[in-house]
Structure 1
Amino acid sequence: MAFWDGLRRERGPHFDSGNAASNSIELTKRHPVVSLTKQGATTGNLRVNLSWRMRTSDIGGRSRPNASLLRHPLRALQPDVVQAHTQGVVNVDLDLGCLYELTDGSKGVVQPLGSLFGGLNEPPYVQLSGDDRFGAPSGETIFINLDHREKIKRLLVFVYIYDQTPAFDRTHAIVTLYPSNGPRIEIQLEERHPQARSCAVFSVENIKGDLVVRREVKFVYGFQAELDRLYGWGLQWGRGYKSKI
C-alpha cells in the first residue's frame, strides 16, 4: 500500500459553523445519541476534528524537575501544553479515519495510510484534510458533505495509533463535530486502554430519515481490520506504512 508523505496539504473546504462556538453537547455513556435532523443540521459540511496532547503526568508535568528545566529554568514558566509539545508530543501520531458505506453498496475507508483522502463533492462525500503527525492545535479534520446525505448509508469515524507510538492511556484526545447548525458535539477519549491501538469513536446513520450520531468509543487491540470485523464492513485489508519525515 502506498503511503502519505510530502504531499502538499490542501486548504480545507469551507464549512458553516452555525452557533457552535457558543454551545456544545458532550456525548457520554449515559447520553450517547444526538439527532442532526432534529437540530436542523443535515445540510452543508459536517466538520469532524481530532485533537490531542500528552497527559502531563506522563511527561513529568510540574511535580518533578528534570535536567532540562535545571539548564533552562525559564521553561518552567511555559504553559503545560507548550511543555508537552516540546517534550514529547512529537512522538504521538494519532490518525483520524472514516469507514463509509453508501446506499449504492460501495464501501471503503478514508485515512492517511494509502493517501486515501476521499472526496467532498464526489463519492464517498467524505474528505480528510491531511495528516497531522505532531498533535498540532489544529489536529486532523474530516469533512462530510451532508448535502449528499441521501447517498450515505452509514459512517464510522475512528482513531488509531500509528506504529511505535505511545498508547491511548498516555494521550488526552477529543473528537469534536461542528454541524452546519446548532451546537458542536464533543466526544472525549478518556478511558485508559494501555494496549489498545484503535478506537471506534462515533457512527453516523440514516434511520428512517433521521440522521443520527451515536457515540461508540470502543477500543480494540488491533487496527482497521479489527474495527471492520466488529462493525461488519467486509473490506480487504493490507499492511500500510508511512515513511520518515
Structure 2
Amino acid sequence: MAITLKKSGDSHKIDLSKAGQSKQLTVHVNLNWNQQSNQNVGFFGKLLGADSPPDLDLGCMYETVDGAKGVIQALGGNFGAKNSSPYIFLDKDDRTGAASDGENMFIYRPDTIKRVMFFALIYRGASDFRSVGGRMFFKISNGEEIYLELNNPGVNKPFCAAAIVSNFGSQVTILKEEKYFSGHQEADKNYHFGFNWVAGSK
C-alpha cells in the first residue's frame, strides 16, 4: 500500500543503508493527470488553446553532491541521462495525457544527488491546476511507494513545485512541497538554483 503525503510539508524517509546497495536503488517518479479538456474557459482562453486536453510536463531542477546543477524537462529537449551524470532520466513527453502511465522520471543514483525539485508545468490546455487533477507517484526499487495529489492549486499559477527529494548521506527524504508559481524563473528564485532562463517551445 502506498504512503500518501496529504499536505505540504509531509515527508517520507528512505533508509539507503537498509537497502545495502545504495548505488543501485532507483527512484521512479510518475506524473499523471485527467485527460479531458477544460470546459470552463472563456473566449480568450480558447484562443490560447485552453479548450484542448491539458498538456502537463514533468521536470526537475537538480543539484548534485559535487555542486553541478541543471534542469531536465521536455521543454528544451533535455531528457537527462541514465548512465552518466546526473543519472536522472525523463522517459517521454506525453502531450495529451493519453498515455496511461503519464510521464516518468528516474533517479538511478540517488547517492549522487543533493536535492531534486520535481515540478509539474501546464504547457497548454488549462490556466492552472484546478481542473487537471494532477498527481505524483514515487516508486522506490526497495518496494516503497509514495503518493501525493496536487490538490491545493493557486489561481492562474501553471507551475507547481510538487516534491523535493533530498539526500542526507544514508537517507533520502521525499517531501510534498506543492507550491505554485507563475513559471520556472519565479520558482528558481524561491529555491535558489540560480539558472539563467530564456523562452522556449516544443
* Same fold at TM > 0.5: yes
Give the one of 137, 144, 150 matched to 1:176: 137
After TM superposition, give the deviation of residue 183 of structure 1 in Å.
Answer: 3.0
Does the alignment pair 1:204 with 2:182? no
Q: Is the 8 A contact 2:76 2:200 kept in 1?
A: yes
Q: Is the 8 A contact 1:90 1:135 kept in 2?
A: no
- Amino acid paired to 1:52: W
Give the total of aligned pairs. Answer: 189
- Amino acid paired to 1:26: T
Paired position in structure 1 for 2:2 = 24
Q: Is the 8 A contact 2:128 2:153 kept in 1?
A: no
After TM superposition, give the deviation of residue 166 of structure 1 in Å.
Answer: 3.9
Larger radius of gyration: 1
Paired position in structure 2 for 1:231 = 191
Paired position in structure 1 for 2:62 = 100
Paired position in structure 1 for 2:118 = 157
Quote the Cα distance in structure 2 between the aligned partners of 1:39 and 1:28.
Answer: 27
- Amino acid paired to 1:45: T
Quote the Cα distance in structure 1 between the aligned partners of 2:172 and 2:153.
Answer: 30
Determine which structure has the larger helix proportion and give its number. Answer: 1
Paired position in structure 2 for 1:121 = 83
Quote the Cα distance in structure 1 between the aligned partners of 2:106 and 2:52.
Answer: 25
- Amino acid paired to 2:102: G
Greater Cα offset, 92-101 or 47-56: 47-56
Paired position in structure 1 for 2:33 = 52
Unaligned segments of structure 1, at least 5 residues:
1-22, 61-87
Q: Is the 8 A contact 1:55 1:172 kept in 2?
A: no
Q: CA RMSD in A?
A: 2.4
- Amino acid paired to 2:179: K
SS of residue in 2 equivalent to 1:36: strand
Unaligned segments of structure 2, at least 5 residues:
41-49
Rate the CA distance shift 1:228–1:183 in 2: closer, same or farther, 3 A. same
Quote the Cα distance in structure 2 between the aligned partners of 1:103 and 1:120.
Answer: 17
TM-score, scaled to structure 1:
0.70
Task: Give the share of equivalent positions with the same residue, in percent.
Answer: 34
Paired position in structure 2 for 1:12 = none
Rate the CA distance shift 1:30–1:239 in 2: closer, same or farther, 3 A. closer
After TM superposition, give the deviation of residue 36 of structure 1 in Å.
Answer: 1.3
Rate the CA distance shift 1:39–1:55 in 2: closer, same or farther, 3 A. farther
Instruction: Report runs of 4+ in structure 1 exceeding 4 Å deviation.
Output: 38-42
Give the one of 89, 104, 110 matched to 2:72: 110
